[in-house]
């Protein structure tokens, strides 16, 4: 009897990217006049702010385009007709400090009998629209890795086999993954790595094949899941090989900050404001160069909200969420999210400034979500959520839309998937997109 199989997580090695996207300057003026523009790809991004928010200062008291914006969303006044705050949303398996496990999967997530995961909504989309880009999706986060099995996940993304996809938190690493140029030694190491990964995959598949003939039905089901995971890694390896010799884009870095050195929350002189600008600008660059069309960004982890000087508050964000209705705690709670919303507004400005071949902006062709896996007091309902952009994709914004209580959060993911061209009858516990947003 062969020795028991050990679980293996084969992380993808990333290198290479792709050529420049179609630009307006590349199009003959006759084509412009005739309206014959190249297709502009649709993009999707989900940003997660764990541990909830002060909902008294997030949701407007009235609905529609003319509603008054409360403190947290007031910085977005210039975008009121290009966004929709959505109230009435619930994450069925959310609440507490483990809703991040269910945030994009809709599964039970963290349970007393173990973690029950599934494919996340962004990966459903990436399977469809991510196949033409070097990176089917990218995972950004305030913390590197997955933190799987612990409270406060680093990642939001889960593969088809229910495996969490590791996130990256260093803009220096992300920048070099997207745009760094290899020398001969690095290229040789990359090729060696490809061969080594291929050998590992051959080994684990052969060993599993031998065991498969000797196990019962229960173990057979587990092996089927294992083979599915191996096939996913093989597919990613082949993509890495196919793209490894493609030239990388050379982005223009005017006003985009310094990507020449590492910067993480563990850095000695960490500046949260500088960090967020670097990360958001990288999202814009990744979309602009068509390096990927699907991104998740775990801006604030569940449970560990962090304490940063720029927020100028008396305690950490998580401690503030246990406010006991103390006016100071509630005020500081809203203050932190207002500052984060100002960073988000700068990000929207960047997307709006990037012109597309059809004369619209990158923001027009990107569906973005700003949300949390927890509501007030770590509840699973009244989740603070808003979507932005995507007008060229057919999103019809209403500034504030009030849905029925306990509307599945997955209807937001369903709507975004639908608008970027991924048509599914059901997405988790959503049976349809939000009609009010797509006409």
- Segment 412-426 shows an average pLDDT of 97
Range from 9-23, 146-160, 315-329 carrying the lowest mean pLDDT: 9-23
Q: How many CA atoms lie less than 13 Å away from 129 in the CB half-sphere?
A: 26
pLDDT at 434: 98
- Asked if residue 85 has pLDDT above 60, the reply is yes
Angle of the 410-419 helix axis to the 121-129 helix axis, nearest 10: 10
Three-state SS for 74?
helix
3 state SS of 198: helix
pLDDT tens, position by position, 326-357: 999 999 999 999 999 999 999 999 999 999 99
Categorize the per-residue pLDDT at 378 as very low, low, confident or very high, splitting at 50, 70 and 90.
confident
Phi and psi, residue 125, nearest 5°: -70, -45
199-203, 295-299, 386-390: lowest mean pLDDT where? 199-203
Find the range with the poorest average confidence among 32-36, 189-193, 395-399.
32-36
pLDDT in tens, 2-59: 344 333 332 333 333 333 444 444 443 333 333 445 689 999 999 999 999 999 999 9
Q: Select the more confidently predicted residue: 347 or 221.
A: 347
* pLDDT higher at 95 or 265: 265
Question: Is the pLDDT at 151 greater than 80, yes or no?
Answer: yes
Rg from Cα positions in the chain = 22
The residue count for the chain: 439
The residue with greater pLDDT, 439 or 336, is 336
User: Residue 16: its pLDDT value, please?
Assistant: 31
Pairing verdict, β 83-90 and 385-388: antiparallel
CA atoms of 331 and 336, how far apart (whole Å): 9
Handedness of CA 331, 333, 334, 338 (dihedral sign): positive
Taking residues 300-312, what's their average pLDDT? 88
Q: What is the mean pLDDT of the chain?
A: 84
The per-residue pLDDT for 22 is 42
Mean pLDDT of 174-191: 72
Q: What is the model's pLDDT at position 18?
A: 31
DSSP 439: -
Percent of the chain with pLDDT over 90: 64
Q: How far apart are CA 117 and CA 115, in angstroms?
A: 6
pLDDT at 6: 39
Q: What percent of the chain has pLDDT over 70?
A: 76
Burial class (CB in 10 A: 0-12, 13-18, 19+), 271: middle
Tell me the pTM: 0.82
* Over residues 377-382, mean pLDDT: 91
pLDDT of residue 96: 85
Which is nearest to 235 in space by CA: 126, 105, 106, 107? Answer: 126
């Amino acid at each position: 009897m062969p020795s028991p199989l050990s679980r293996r997580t084969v992380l993808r090695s990333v290198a290479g990217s792709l050529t420049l996207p179609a630009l307006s300057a590349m199009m003959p003026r006759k084509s412009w006049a005739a309206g014959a523009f190249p297709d502009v790809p649709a993009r999707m991004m989900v940003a997660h702010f764990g541990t909830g928010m002060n909902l008294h200062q997030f949701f407007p008291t009235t609905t529609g385009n003319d509603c008054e914006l409360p403190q947290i969303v007031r910085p977005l006044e210039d975008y009121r007709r290009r966004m929709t705050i959505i109230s009435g949303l619930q994450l069925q398996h959310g609440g507490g400090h483990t809703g991040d496990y269910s945030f994009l999967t809709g599964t039970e997530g963290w349970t007393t009998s173990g973690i029950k995961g599934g494919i996340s909504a962004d990966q459903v989309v990436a399977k469809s629209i991510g196949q033409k880009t070097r990176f089917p999706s990218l995972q950004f986060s305030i913390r590197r890795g997955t933190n799987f099995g612990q409270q406060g996940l680093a990642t939001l993304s889960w593969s088809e086999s229910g495996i969490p996809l590791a996130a990256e938190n260093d803009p220096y690493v992300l920048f070099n993954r997207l745009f760094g140029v290899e020398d001969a030694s690095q290229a040789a190491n990359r090729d060696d790595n490809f061969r080594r990964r291929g050998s590992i995959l051959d080994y684990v598949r052969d060993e599993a094949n031998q065991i498969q003939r000797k196990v019962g039905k229960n173990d057979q089901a587990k092996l089927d899941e294992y083979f599915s995971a191996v096939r996913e890694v093989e597919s990613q390896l082949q993509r890495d090989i196919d793209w490894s010799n493609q030239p990388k884009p050379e982005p223009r870095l005017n006003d985009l900050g310094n990507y020449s050195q590492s910067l993480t929350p563990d850095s000695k002189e960490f500046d949260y404001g500088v960090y967020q600008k670097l990360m958001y600008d990288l999202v814009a660059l990744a979309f602009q160069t068509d390096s990927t069309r699907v991104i998740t960004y775990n801006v604030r982890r569940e449970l560990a909200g962090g304490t940063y000087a720029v927020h100028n508050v008396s305690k950490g964000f998580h401690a503030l969420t246990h406010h006991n209705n103390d006016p100071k705690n509630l005020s500081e709670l809203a203050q932190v999210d207002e500052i984060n919303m100002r960073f988000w507004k700068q990000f929207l400005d960047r997307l709006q400034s990037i012109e597309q071949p059809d004369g619209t902006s990158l923001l027009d062709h990107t569906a973005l979500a700003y949300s949390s896996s927890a509501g007030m007091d770590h509840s699973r309902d009244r989740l603070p959520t808003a979507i932005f952009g995507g007008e060229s994709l057919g999103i019809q914004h209403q500034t504030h839309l009030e849905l029925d209580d306990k509307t599945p959060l997955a209807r937001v993911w369903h709507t975004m998937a639908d608008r970027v061209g991924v048509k599914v009858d059901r997405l988790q516990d959503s049976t349809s997109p939000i009609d009010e947003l797509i006409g």
